[in-house]
Amino acid sequence: MLVGKKILLVIGGGIAAYKSLELIRLLQKAGASVVPVLTRSGAEFVTPLSVSALAGQKVHAELFDLTAEAEMGHIELSRSADLVVVAPATADLMAKLAGGLANDLASTLLLATDKRVLMAPAMNVRMWEHPATARNLETLQGFGVLTVGPDAGEMACGEFGPGRMAEPARIVEAIDATLGSGDLAGRHVLVTSGPTHEPIDPVRYIANRSSGRQGSAIAEALVRRGARVSFITGPASAPKPLGCAVIEVETAREMLAAVEAALPADAAIFAAAVADWHVKAETRSKIKKKGGETPPPIELAENPDILKTISHKPEDRPSLVVGFAAETDDVIANATAKRQRKGCDWLIANDVRPETGIMGGKNTTVTLITQDGPEAWEPMSKTAMADRLASRIAEALS
Protein backbone atom coordinates (compact mmCIF):
# COMPACT_ATOMS: atom_id res chain seq x y z
CA MET A 1 0.00 0.00 0.00
CA LEU A 2 2.97 2.33 0.41
CA VAL A 3 4.98 0.78 -2.40
CA GLY A 4 7.70 3.11 -3.66
CA LYS A 5 6.97 5.81 -1.06
CA LYS A 6 9.85 7.41 0.81
CA ILE A 7 9.36 8.43 4.43
CA LEU A 8 11.74 10.75 6.25
CA LEU A 9 11.36 9.55 9.85
CA VAL A 10 12.47 11.89 12.62
CA ILE A 11 12.88 10.02 15.90
CA GLY A 12 12.66 12.33 18.91
CA GLY A 13 13.90 11.67 22.42
CA GLY A 14 11.32 9.87 24.49
CA ILE A 15 10.66 6.44 25.88
CA ALA A 16 8.29 5.85 22.94
CA ALA A 17 11.32 5.95 20.61
CA TYR A 18 11.57 2.15 20.93
CA LYS A 19 8.23 1.95 19.08
CA SER A 20 9.79 3.76 16.12
CA LEU A 21 11.80 0.60 15.43
CA GLU A 22 8.54 -1.29 14.99
CA LEU A 23 7.28 1.60 12.86
CA ILE A 24 10.27 1.26 10.52
CA ARG A 25 9.57 -2.47 10.19
CA LEU A 26 5.87 -1.94 9.42
CA LEU A 27 6.61 0.79 6.89
CA GLN A 28 9.04 -1.44 5.07
CA LYS A 29 6.52 -4.29 5.12
CA ALA A 30 4.05 -1.90 3.47
CA GLY A 31 6.59 -1.23 0.70
CA ALA A 32 7.96 2.15 1.86
CA SER A 33 11.60 3.07 2.31
CA VAL A 34 12.59 4.91 5.48
CA VAL A 35 15.28 7.57 5.75
CA PRO A 36 15.91 7.87 9.52
CA VAL A 37 16.87 11.02 11.38
CA LEU A 38 17.75 10.67 15.04
CA THR A 39 17.82 13.65 17.40
CA ARG A 40 20.56 13.79 19.99
CA SER A 41 18.10 12.88 22.75
CA GLY A 42 16.50 10.24 20.51
CA ALA A 43 19.90 8.54 20.43
CA GLU A 44 19.70 8.21 24.23
CA PHE A 45 16.71 5.88 23.80
CA VAL A 46 17.52 3.93 20.62
CA THR A 47 20.95 3.39 19.15
CA PRO A 48 21.88 4.67 15.69
CA LEU A 49 23.04 1.14 14.92
CA SER A 50 19.66 -0.50 15.56
CA VAL A 51 17.86 2.23 13.57
CA SER A 52 20.19 2.01 10.57
CA ALA A 53 20.22 -1.80 10.66
CA LEU A 54 16.41 -1.89 10.50
CA ALA A 55 16.08 0.91 7.96
CA GLY A 56 18.93 -0.43 5.85
CA GLN A 57 20.11 3.17 5.50
CA LYS A 58 22.53 5.56 7.15
CA VAL A 59 21.07 7.44 10.12
CA HIS A 60 21.23 11.21 9.76
CA ALA A 61 21.95 12.93 13.05
CA GLU A 62 24.16 15.98 12.70
CA LEU A 63 23.31 19.29 11.07
CA PHE A 64 26.91 19.94 10.10
CA ASP A 65 27.96 16.54 8.88
CA LEU A 66 30.53 17.14 6.18
CA THR A 67 30.22 13.69 4.64
CA ALA A 68 26.45 14.00 4.48
CA GLU A 69 26.60 17.52 3.09
CA ALA A 70 28.92 16.28 0.35
CA GLU A 71 26.41 13.54 -0.50
CA MET A 72 23.15 15.37 0.14
CA GLY A 73 22.57 18.76 1.76
CA HIS A 74 20.10 19.02 4.64
CA ILE A 75 17.68 21.08 2.52
CA GLU A 76 17.70 18.42 -0.15
CA LEU A 77 17.25 15.73 2.51
CA SER A 78 14.15 17.54 3.77
CA ARG A 79 12.61 17.46 0.31
CA SER A 80 13.64 14.07 -0.95
CA ALA A 81 10.85 12.19 0.82
CA ASP A 82 7.12 11.94 0.08
CA LEU A 83 6.25 12.64 3.70
CA VAL A 84 8.05 13.70 6.88
CA VAL A 85 6.97 11.70 9.95
CA VAL A 86 7.99 12.67 13.48
CA ALA A 87 7.61 9.76 15.91
CA PRO A 88 7.86 10.28 18.76
CA ALA A 89 7.14 14.00 18.44
CA THR A 90 8.32 15.35 21.76
CA ALA A 91 7.04 18.57 23.36
CA ASP A 92 10.43 20.05 22.44
CA LEU A 93 10.21 19.16 18.72
CA MET A 94 6.65 20.48 18.57
CA ALA A 95 7.71 23.72 20.26
CA LYS A 96 10.69 24.12 17.94
CA LEU A 97 8.61 23.88 14.77
CA ALA A 98 5.79 26.01 16.22
CA GLY A 99 8.36 28.68 17.11
CA GLY A 100 10.35 28.35 13.89
CA LEU A 101 13.59 27.24 15.57
CA ALA A 102 16.19 25.39 13.55
CA ASN A 103 19.13 24.62 15.81
CA ASP A 104 19.69 20.97 15.00
CA LEU A 105 19.20 18.66 12.04
CA ALA A 106 15.64 17.52 12.94
CA SER A 107 14.24 21.03 13.49
CA THR A 108 16.05 22.37 10.39
CA LEU A 109 14.54 19.62 8.23
CA LEU A 110 11.06 20.32 9.63
CA LEU A 111 11.36 24.01 8.85
CA ALA A 112 12.92 23.52 5.42
CA THR A 113 10.70 20.80 4.04
CA ASP A 114 8.18 21.42 1.28
CA LYS A 115 6.45 18.11 2.06
CA ARG A 116 3.67 17.41 4.50
CA VAL A 117 4.58 16.68 8.11
CA LEU A 118 2.81 14.08 10.25
CA MET A 119 3.57 14.12 13.98
CA ALA A 120 2.87 11.36 16.50
CA PRO A 121 3.12 13.23 19.80
CA ALA A 122 4.36 11.37 22.87
CA MET A 123 5.03 12.88 26.25
CA ASN A 124 4.03 12.93 29.90
CA VAL A 125 0.34 13.76 30.51
CA ARG A 126 1.05 17.09 32.17
CA MET A 127 3.40 18.11 29.39
CA TRP A 128 0.71 17.22 26.83
CA GLU A 129 -1.94 19.14 28.76
CA HIS A 130 0.26 22.17 29.40
CA PRO A 131 -1.18 25.30 27.73
CA ALA A 132 2.17 25.81 25.97
CA THR A 133 1.87 22.43 24.23
CA ALA A 134 -1.81 23.04 23.46
CA ARG A 135 -0.89 26.38 21.93
CA ASN A 136 1.96 24.83 19.92
CA LEU A 137 -0.35 22.08 18.66
CA GLU A 138 -2.85 24.67 17.51
CA THR A 139 -0.10 26.64 15.75
CA LEU A 140 1.21 23.49 14.06
CA GLN A 141 -2.25 22.44 12.90
CA GLY A 142 -2.68 25.94 11.54
CA PHE A 143 0.50 25.33 9.48
CA GLY A 144 -1.14 22.16 8.10
CA VAL A 145 0.91 19.75 10.23
CA LEU A 146 -1.01 16.49 10.63
CA THR A 147 -1.16 14.58 13.89
CA VAL A 148 -1.94 11.05 14.96
CA GLY A 149 -2.59 10.37 18.65
CA PRO A 150 -1.56 10.61 21.38
CA ASP A 151 -3.51 7.78 22.99
CA ALA A 152 -4.68 7.75 26.59
CA GLY A 153 -3.51 5.07 28.98
CA GLU A 154 -0.90 4.14 31.51
CA MET A 155 2.41 5.77 30.77
CA ALA A 156 6.00 4.68 31.26
CA CYS A 157 6.35 7.36 33.94
CA GLY A 158 3.53 5.73 35.95
CA GLU A 159 0.95 8.45 35.30
CA PHE A 160 -2.29 7.91 33.46
CA GLY A 161 -3.92 9.95 30.69
CA PRO A 162 -3.30 11.18 27.16
CA GLY A 163 0.33 11.25 26.06
CA ARG A 164 1.19 7.74 24.87
CA MET A 165 2.40 7.63 21.31
CA ALA A 166 -0.13 6.13 18.89
CA GLU A 167 0.59 2.48 18.11
CA PRO A 168 2.88 2.01 15.07
CA ALA A 169 0.10 0.27 13.11
CA ARG A 170 -2.11 3.33 13.58
CA ILE A 171 0.70 5.63 12.48
CA VAL A 172 1.11 3.53 9.32
CA GLU A 173 -2.65 3.87 8.69
CA ALA A 174 -2.36 7.65 9.04
CA ILE A 175 0.64 7.70 6.67
CA ASP A 176 -1.26 5.57 4.19
CA ALA A 177 -4.26 7.90 4.40
CA THR A 178 -2.06 10.95 3.89
CA LEU A 179 -0.23 9.54 0.89
CA GLY A 180 -3.33 8.02 -0.67
CA SER A 181 -3.22 8.22 -4.44
CA GLY A 182 -6.90 7.96 -5.21
CA ASP A 183 -9.14 9.88 -7.57
CA LEU A 184 -9.10 12.93 -5.28
CA ALA A 185 -5.30 13.21 -5.17
CA GLY A 186 -4.24 16.83 -5.53
CA ARG A 187 -7.69 18.14 -4.51
CA HIS A 188 -8.28 20.26 -1.43
CA VAL A 189 -11.58 19.61 0.33
CA LEU A 190 -12.87 21.44 3.36
CA VAL A 191 -15.21 19.73 5.84
CA THR A 192 -17.03 21.32 8.78
CA SER A 193 -18.21 19.03 11.54
CA GLY A 194 -19.63 18.72 15.03
CA PRO A 195 -21.74 21.13 17.04
CA THR A 196 -20.83 24.67 17.95
CA HIS A 197 -20.85 25.94 21.52
CA GLU A 198 -22.21 29.43 22.04
CA PRO A 199 -21.20 30.83 25.45
CA ILE A 200 -23.74 32.39 27.79
CA ASP A 201 -21.16 33.20 30.46
CA PRO A 202 -17.74 31.69 31.30
CA VAL A 203 -19.29 28.41 32.50
CA ARG A 204 -22.48 27.95 30.49
CA TYR A 205 -23.11 27.53 26.81
CA ILE A 206 -25.77 26.65 24.26
CA ALA A 207 -25.01 23.43 22.37
CA ASN A 208 -26.68 20.67 20.35
CA ARG A 209 -26.53 16.88 20.13
CA SER A 210 -24.30 16.54 17.06
CA SER A 211 -21.56 13.94 17.67
CA GLY A 212 -19.45 14.90 14.67
CA ARG A 213 -19.50 11.26 13.55
CA GLN A 214 -20.79 11.99 10.05
CA GLY A 215 -18.27 14.79 9.46
CA SER A 216 -15.34 12.63 10.67
CA ALA A 217 -16.47 9.75 8.45
CA ILE A 218 -16.70 12.05 5.41
CA ALA A 219 -13.25 13.52 6.06
CA GLU A 220 -11.70 10.04 6.36
CA ALA A 221 -13.45 8.85 3.19
CA LEU A 222 -12.06 11.86 1.30
CA VAL A 223 -8.56 11.24 2.69
CA ARG A 224 -8.78 7.58 1.60
CA ARG A 225 -9.31 8.82 -1.96
CA GLY A 226 -6.20 10.98 -1.71
CA ALA A 227 -7.72 14.43 -0.99
CA ARG A 228 -6.00 17.00 1.18
CA VAL A 229 -8.64 17.68 3.79
CA SER A 230 -9.05 20.69 6.08
CA PHE A 231 -11.32 19.49 8.88
CA ILE A 232 -12.89 22.34 10.84
CA THR A 233 -14.68 21.03 13.88
CA GLY A 234 -16.63 22.30 16.86
CA PRO A 235 -16.36 20.45 20.20
CA ALA A 236 -17.39 16.98 18.96
CA SER A 237 -17.30 13.65 20.79
CA ALA A 238 -16.40 11.55 17.72
CA PRO A 239 -12.68 10.76 17.27
CA LYS A 240 -10.86 13.17 14.98
CA PRO A 241 -10.27 11.84 11.48
CA LEU A 242 -6.79 10.64 10.58
CA GLY A 243 -4.74 12.25 7.86
CA CYS A 244 -6.47 15.66 7.91
CA ALA A 245 -5.40 19.12 8.99
CA VAL A 246 -7.67 19.53 12.04
CA ILE A 247 -8.74 23.02 13.06
CA GLU A 248 -10.72 23.14 16.30
CA VAL A 249 -13.18 25.95 16.96
CA GLU A 250 -15.92 26.62 19.45
CA THR A 251 -18.44 29.09 18.09
CA ALA A 252 -20.14 29.60 14.73
CA ARG A 253 -18.29 32.87 14.25
CA GLU A 254 -14.94 31.14 14.83
CA MET A 255 -15.99 28.39 12.42
CA LEU A 256 -16.73 30.89 9.65
CA ALA A 257 -13.34 32.58 10.18
CA ALA A 258 -11.56 29.20 10.04
CA VAL A 259 -13.44 28.21 6.86
CA GLU A 260 -12.52 31.47 5.16
CA ALA A 261 -8.88 31.07 6.22
CA ALA A 262 -8.80 27.53 4.77
CA LEU A 263 -9.99 28.62 1.30
CA PRO A 264 -9.39 28.13 -1.60
CA ALA A 265 -10.76 24.61 -1.85
CA ASP A 266 -12.07 22.46 -4.69
CA ALA A 267 -15.06 21.33 -2.64
CA ALA A 268 -16.57 22.21 0.73
CA ILE A 269 -18.81 19.91 2.77
CA PHE A 270 -20.75 21.61 5.55
CA ALA A 271 -21.66 18.77 7.89
CA ALA A 272 -21.49 20.83 11.10
CA ALA A 273 -24.60 21.41 13.15
CA VAL A 274 -24.00 25.12 13.55
CA ALA A 275 -26.02 26.93 16.20
CA ASP A 276 -28.39 29.40 14.59
CA TRP A 277 -27.95 31.94 17.38
CA HIS A 278 -25.41 33.17 19.85
CA VAL A 279 -26.03 35.02 23.09
CA LYS A 280 -26.09 38.71 22.33
CA ALA A 281 -24.45 39.93 25.49
CA GLU A 282 -22.16 37.13 26.66
CA THR A 283 -21.10 38.05 30.17
CA ARG A 284 -17.49 37.90 31.33
CA SER A 285 -18.52 36.83 34.83
CA LYS A 286 -20.81 34.00 35.82
CA ILE A 287 -24.47 34.99 36.04
CA LYS A 288 -25.46 34.62 39.71
CA LYS A 289 -28.67 33.07 40.95
CA LYS A 290 -30.28 35.50 43.37
CA GLY A 291 -33.21 34.32 45.52
CA GLY A 292 -36.74 35.34 44.59
CA GLU A 293 -35.92 36.94 41.25
CA THR A 294 -37.31 35.91 37.89
CA PRO A 295 -34.70 33.97 35.84
CA PRO A 296 -32.44 36.21 33.72
CA PRO A 297 -33.53 36.67 30.11
CA ILE A 298 -31.15 35.44 27.41
CA GLU A 299 -31.26 37.60 24.34
CA LEU A 300 -30.12 35.87 21.16
CA ALA A 301 -28.55 37.25 18.00
CA GLU A 302 -28.27 35.50 14.66
CA ASN A 303 -25.09 33.60 13.78
CA PRO A 304 -23.54 33.91 10.35
CA ASP A 305 -24.79 31.22 7.98
CA ILE A 306 -21.48 29.67 6.92
CA LEU A 307 -22.93 27.52 4.13
CA LYS A 308 -24.84 30.44 2.63
CA THR A 309 -21.90 32.82 2.94
CA ILE A 310 -19.49 30.46 1.17
CA SER A 311 -22.08 29.48 -1.48
CA HIS A 312 -22.48 33.15 -2.41
CA LYS A 313 -18.82 34.10 -2.33
CA PRO A 314 -17.92 36.12 -5.43
CA GLU A 315 -14.32 34.88 -5.30
CA ASP A 316 -12.84 31.66 -4.00
CA ARG A 317 -16.17 29.79 -4.10
CA PRO A 318 -15.34 26.07 -4.12
CA SER A 319 -16.64 24.52 -7.35
CA LEU A 320 -18.74 22.08 -5.33
CA VAL A 321 -20.53 23.21 -2.16
CA VAL A 322 -22.47 20.59 -0.20
CA GLY A 323 -24.82 21.33 2.69
CA PHE A 324 -26.78 19.15 5.08
CA ALA A 325 -30.35 19.56 6.24
CA ALA A 326 -31.53 18.00 9.47
CA GLU A 327 -35.31 18.03 9.19
CA THR A 328 -38.17 16.55 11.18
CA ASP A 329 -41.12 17.34 8.86
CA ASP A 330 -41.68 17.42 5.09
CA VAL A 331 -38.04 16.44 4.71
CA ILE A 332 -37.72 16.52 0.89
CA ALA A 333 -39.80 19.67 0.33
CA ASN A 334 -37.98 21.58 3.07
CA ALA A 335 -34.58 20.38 1.95
CA THR A 336 -35.24 21.25 -1.70
CA ALA A 337 -36.24 24.76 -0.66
CA LYS A 338 -33.17 24.95 1.58
CA ARG A 339 -30.84 24.07 -1.32
CA GLN A 340 -32.22 27.05 -3.24
CA ARG A 341 -32.11 29.38 -0.26
CA LYS A 342 -28.56 28.50 0.71
CA GLY A 343 -27.23 28.58 -2.85
CA CYS A 344 -25.31 25.32 -2.48
CA ASP A 345 -24.89 22.73 -5.24
CA TRP A 346 -25.95 19.65 -3.32
CA LEU A 347 -27.94 19.24 -0.15
CA ILE A 348 -28.05 16.05 1.88
CA ALA A 349 -31.33 15.70 3.74
CA ASN A 350 -31.58 13.71 6.97
CA ASP A 351 -34.76 12.83 8.80
CA VAL A 352 -33.73 13.55 12.39
CA ARG A 353 -36.95 12.70 14.23
CA PRO A 354 -35.77 11.09 17.52
CA GLU A 355 -37.21 7.68 16.52
CA THR A 356 -34.81 7.51 13.51
CA GLY A 357 -31.78 7.56 15.87
CA ILE A 358 -29.79 9.43 13.18
CA MET A 359 -28.67 12.37 15.34
CA GLY A 360 -25.67 11.02 17.26
CA GLY A 361 -26.21 7.46 15.95
CA LYS A 362 -24.06 5.19 13.73
CA ASN A 363 -26.49 4.77 10.83
CA THR A 364 -28.24 7.20 8.54
CA THR A 365 -30.82 7.41 5.78
CA VAL A 366 -30.29 10.34 3.45
CA THR A 367 -31.65 11.89 0.30
CA LEU A 368 -29.18 13.67 -1.95
CA ILE A 369 -30.75 16.73 -3.56
CA THR A 370 -29.00 18.11 -6.63
CA GLN A 371 -30.17 20.36 -9.45
CA ASP A 372 -31.68 17.21 -10.98
CA GLY A 373 -33.93 16.63 -7.96
CA PRO A 374 -33.97 14.24 -5.00
CA GLU A 375 -32.19 10.88 -4.99
CA ALA A 376 -33.03 8.61 -2.04
CA TRP A 377 -30.16 6.47 -0.73
CA GLU A 378 -30.93 3.24 1.13
CA PRO A 379 -30.29 3.15 4.92
CA MET A 380 -26.58 2.60 5.62
CA SER A 381 -23.85 3.27 8.15
CA LYS A 382 -22.45 6.81 8.30
CA THR A 383 -19.12 5.38 7.07
CA ALA A 384 -20.76 3.81 4.00
CA MET A 385 -22.66 7.02 3.31
CA ALA A 386 -19.35 8.94 3.58
CA ASP A 387 -17.72 6.59 1.04
CA ARG A 388 -20.63 6.98 -1.39
CA LEU A 389 -20.53 10.77 -1.02
CA ALA A 390 -16.73 10.87 -1.51
CA SER A 391 -17.09 8.81 -4.67
CA ARG A 392 -19.75 11.22 -6.01
CA ILE A 393 -17.54 14.19 -5.14
CA ALA A 394 -14.62 12.62 -7.02
CA GLU A 395 -16.90 12.09 -10.02
CA ALA A 396 -18.17 15.69 -9.89
CA LEU A 397 -14.66 17.15 -9.68
CA SER A 398 -13.18 14.98 -12.42
**Residues forming the site for ligand C5P (CB under 6 A):** 192, 252, 270, 272, 274, 276, 303, 305-307, 323-325
Shorter beta-carbon distance to ligand C5P: residue 183 or 250? 250
Shortest approach of ligand C5P to residue 359 CB, angstroms? Answer: 13
Whose CA is closest to 7, among 115, 88, 150, 90? 115
Shortest approach of ligand C5P to residue 58 CB, angstroms? Answer: 50
Half-sphere exposure of 185 (CA within 13 A, CB side): 8
- Distances in Å between the Cα of 395 and the Cα atoms of 132, 182, 275 are 43, 12, 31
Task: Give the integer Cα–Cα distance in Å for 107 and 94.
Answer: 9
Taking CB positions, which residue lies at the least distance from ligand C5P? 306
- Phi and psi at residue 132, in whole multiples of 5°? -65, -45
Q: Is 157 a catalytic residue?
A: yes
Shorter beta-carbon distance to ligand C5P: residue 77 or 359? 359
Shortest approach of ligand C5P to residue 338 CB, angstroms? Answer: 6
Q: Tell me how crowded residue 154 is: count the other CB atoms within 10 A of its CB.
A: 10
Task: Give the integer Cα–Cα distance in Å for 207 and 195.
Answer: 7
Whose CA is closest to 155, among 180, 177, 128? 128
CB 223 within 8 A of CB 180: yes
State the catalytic residue, choosing from 53, 156, 157, 333.
Answer: 157
Bridge partner list, 302: 277
Bridge partner list, 345: none
Shortest approach of ligand C5P to residue 96 CB, angstroms? Answer: 36
Shorter beta-carbon distance to ligand C5P: residue 86 or 191? 191
Shorter beta-carbon distance to ligand C5P: residue 113 or 196? 196
Q: Exposure of 49 by Cβ count < 10 A (0-12 exposed, 13-18 middle, 19+ buried)?
A: exposed
Bridge partner list, 128: none
Shortest approach of ligand C5P to residue 375 CB, angstroms? Answer: 17
Shortest approach of ligand C5P to residue 272 CB, angstroms? Answer: 4
Shorter beta-carbon distance to ligand C5P: residue 112 or 326? 326
* Residue 127 CB partners (closer than 8 Å, separation 6+): 91, 133, 163
Shorter beta-carbon distance to ligand C5P: residue 58 or 313? 313
Looking at residue 102, its amino acid is: A
Q: Catalytic amino acids?
A: 157
